[in-house]
Structure 1
């Protein structure tokens, strides 16, 4: 009797230690084996901090991304990877909105991505894939800000990927010596090359997460939207994505846009900075500390009265970027995929004309583009000094249905609007069409989908003219 009891208890203990049906399976990807964890939504698994390239540090600073460094054993992917090195954030409008103040540690070792999926290990699931590129003027931001939490995308049967990439001086630095050492006589687009490398990683590995490598949507906002525009015109990204969404992209305002810098001009500009700091060759530049490189550019910009945002941009180098996005759109060289493009009502600058020109250009070349405006002024609770209106980036809470991560007093109408926007974006990832009664912008039908609430705070999105920005 005692032996039978011991045997039964042993069996029970073994069963208790075995993998449960809800546990994430162990996947084999580039670099080794990996296991995720349950996300904020039951049934959706998240894999955090997956390395998609070797750390771009030391001799790899300012070089194309290299293959990931293999690891031993099973990597438990339950912690996000470092964001790219950037300026610290301080209290104020945007920092209050996005909850800055508890930022993760920044690092040059930043080439990590995150995946949310309902089908880990199911290689025959072939779920559509969406790759999100965060904004921040190509000089700040990261892939796991609270507004980007991706569980709701996974719940909609889309495999969502968010990526970190090199920023600022580490992602967009050009120099004659770098051009001389590069086999393509190029430098300056390292952040864009990181994004392309991440898309190649998706192509090679996403089936392990239940995704379809032949059904990939890219989307990005602000600087991330500018990245999407750049990828759409890059020959190196050809075939790596099949739909694209451009959200409030920097550089779309025709009144404030600056031409894409040439490689020669950009590299000479940066050479002046390095020479001024005494870093006159690559050995010195690569051996300088992260903080030193970052401080040099900041001090130089302050001394010379330059805006940091003004020098961090993709450069036409003949390799990653062969022409401007405007020229690519006009000549039909843009990636021939469906597009969504839009902005918020109170976005910075006047980008309406550029959005409409982009859509008409796509129609002229036999493609489709869907225009939108987010026109919901965000609710406030009366606290002073917070952002008001349908400001730049305010639509992100809705596209990711991450309202619960924000302090604002949302109404039921906000939740309904968020569900509609999430449905449209995930439909586009699945089918190349957003549904919800949203038609392409054409010469015969020059209308936007306007996402808004009515006077009673009920969801009331409809096709029509954009809502004008109120003027004081």
Structure 2
């Protein structure tokens, strides 16, 4: 009897062992890849190199092709995040590297009967920090192949310099982070079929700086044909004046000036260690944009506009004459952007996370803030965003930052592209202090609400948002059954948007609130008019 039981145990153990699925395996042009299974179900291929390491002589050059590997490459853990300042980063130094051009793929099936839509995510972080190492499995389980990307940041991603321009065959420098994104999207177009994805149906989506980057890619000649649809979550600074490589625009310091302040000789920088480069860049930024400095970068919520003690970062996408040929607002206004399906939106309380403890608190401080930040349209801003008492100041300042740096650009993009507009307004228990602030929607888009501080309502909203995002990726139309009134933004005053809040509801944006920004930042690049309407 014991022998029989022992034999049965062995048979059971053998069955368990043989029942385990083999690790997922794909073949692409550079070689074979072996992935793993995510706990949420889809297959995961993590840390795939999409370009050669941008190190040594490849530092500050366009991304180069990957060298094919020999044996099967194990891709079961994330690649390193790109280098970023410790003062900003939430990522341990041990998880960063200059060798960081990796992407991650989650797929529900390697051989579906119908190829799945592809969704490529660009992370936020002000072009200075952040990582694409975010779990895409739950979103993929809704029927899409999901890809997340790391791209060069800070001085490594956005340094312009006359020395770099001189050695470039395109007579341009900078925007290496944008070129990384384009290289990643080309990699996806060339390889995603092996993962069960539809190479003819690629949606790029991103949040904050990732969404802003998409706004640039849509006017870049280099990005033509690398994606088919776009979702922009809280883009910042679109349709405001852009820094340029060689000259000042509306008082903005040229990017060449910033590069020369870092080091006059590019060979010196190429031979320096990663830390030396970051230290030199930090010193140059403090000298140019610190107290008493002569530098001025584009208005953005991360900068001095909310905190006079903060030092602006110039490491941001800009007009370089190559990747971004002209001022992006002008290109949009002249109809020179891609004509593709677009969905763009913001959160209801974007500004709270930027205002913090240094927000204007009294009526005189509020008046001074508006006059200084939005000159010469301070009076018009005061009329558009009134505050009658000191208690009104903080909510009014939140509306100003939310509208000026996020809603205005999103609305203009939706209007020029005839896209879908949305707003995220849900305030989970975990976010009571900040409201529906910047970045809060990301957990919902990736299904990451199964944690303390979120309720069943949040899980349901997350499922609805993932369904809408994937439906848009599949068809170019995000609408659910109950949202037929959610139509594209037209060129007239019809401005419907979907509100993702405690319930889903279609509302109308008051178009009149955008006029002051059109006067302040005319797409033509001319001097602000600030005419009272």
Confirm or deny a common fold (TM above 0.5): yes
**For this pair of structures, how many residues does the alignment match?**
423
2:242 maps to 259
Separation in 1 of the partners of 2:29 and 2:200? 19
- Partner residue in 1 for 2:185: 199
Name the structure 1 match of 2:447. Answer: 401
Partner of 1:142: 131
**Cα distance in 2 for residues equivalent to 1:283 and 1:324:** 30
Alignment partner of 1:217 is 2:203: yes
| Greater shift in the superposed pair: 327-336 or 288-297 | 327-336
RMSD: 2.7
Q: Determine helix, strand or coil for the equivalent of 1:380.
A: helix
- Which of 402, 409, 416 matches 1:354? 409
Contact preservation (8 Å) 1:28, 1:208: yes
1:335 equivalent in alignment to 2:385: no
Pairwise mapping of residues 441-460 of structure 1 onto structure 2 (< 5 A)? 441-442=489-490, 443=492, 445-453=494-502, 460=503
Q: Is 1:311 aligned with 2:314?
A: yes
1:67 equivalenced with 2:50 (yes/no) = no
Q: 2:507 aligns with which of 458, 464, 468?
A: 464
Q: Equivalent residues in 2 for 1:105-124 (5 A)? A: 105-120=95-110, 122=111
Instruction: Indicate if the aligned counterparts of 1:131 and 1:162 stay in contact, CA closer than 8 A.
Output: yes
Q: Distance between the aligned counterparts of 1:302 and 1:269, measured in 2? A: 11
- The question of whether the paired residues in 2 share the 8 Å contact of 1:119 and 1:125 is answered with no
Q: Look up the match of 2:328.
A: 325
Question: 2:426 and 2:412 mapped to 1: Cα distance?
Answer: 24
> Shift of residue 45 of structure 1?
0.4
Which residue of the partner structure matches residue 457 of structure 1?
A: none
* CA distance in 1: counterparts of 2:244 and 2:231, whole angstroms: 24
- Structure 2 CA distance, aligned partners of 1:162 and 1:321? 23
How far the C-alpha of 1:103 sits from its partner, in A, is 7.0
CA distance in structure 2 between the aligned counterparts of 1:402 and 1:370, rounded to whole angstroms = 24
2:477 is equivalent to residue 433 of structure 1? yes
1:129 counterpart = 2:118: yes
Structure showing greater relative contact order (alpha-carbon pairs closer than 8 Å, 6 or more residues apart): 1
Q: Is the 8 A contact 1:262 1:316 kept in 2?
A: yes
Cα distance in 2 for partners of 1:108, 1:153 equals 29
Contact 1:373/1:466 (<8 A) preserved: no
C-alpha separation between the residues in 1 aligned to 2:12 and 2:55?
Answer: 49
Q: CA deviation at 1:302?
A: 2.5
Q: Which whole-Å CA distance do the structure 1 matches of 2:151 and 2:468 have between them?
A: 27
Residue 190 of structure 1 is matched in structure 2 by 176
Q: Distance in 1 between matches of 2:234 and 2:68?
A: 37
Q: CA deviation at 1:15?
A: 8.6
Post-superposition offset of 1:101: 6.3
Aligned partners of 1:359 and 1:125: how far apart in 2?
Answer: 31
Bigger Cα displacement from structure 2, 324-333 vs 129-138: 324-333
CA distance in 1, matches of 2:280, 2:92: 26
SS in structure 1 opposite 2:178?
helix
Secondary structure of 1:27's match? Answer: strand
- Per-residue CA deviation, residues 74-104 of structure 1 (Å, 9 max, x unaligned), is 11211100111001257xxxx8xxxx46675
* Residues in 1 aligned to 2:86 and 2:408: alpha-carbon distance in whole angstroms: 34
1:134 Cα deviation (Å)?
Answer: 0.2
From 26, 45, 48, give the equivalent of 1:47: 45
Counterpart of 2:21 in structure 1 is 22
The structural deviation recorded for 1:123 is 7.6
Structure 2 SS opposite 1:259: coil
Q: Which runs of 4+ in 1 moved over 6 A?
A: 10-18
Alignment match of 2:427 (pick from 374, 377, 389): 377
Length-normalised TM-score, structure 1 = 0.83
SS in 2 for 1:214: strand
| Runs (5+) with no aligned partner, structure 1 | 1-9, 363-367, 454-459, 468-472
User: Deviation of residue 52 (structure 1)?
Assistant: 0.4
1:456 alignment partner in structure 2:
none
Partners in 2 of 1:305 and 1:353 — Cα distance?
A: 26
Shift of 1:466: 5.5
Look up the match of 1:181: 167
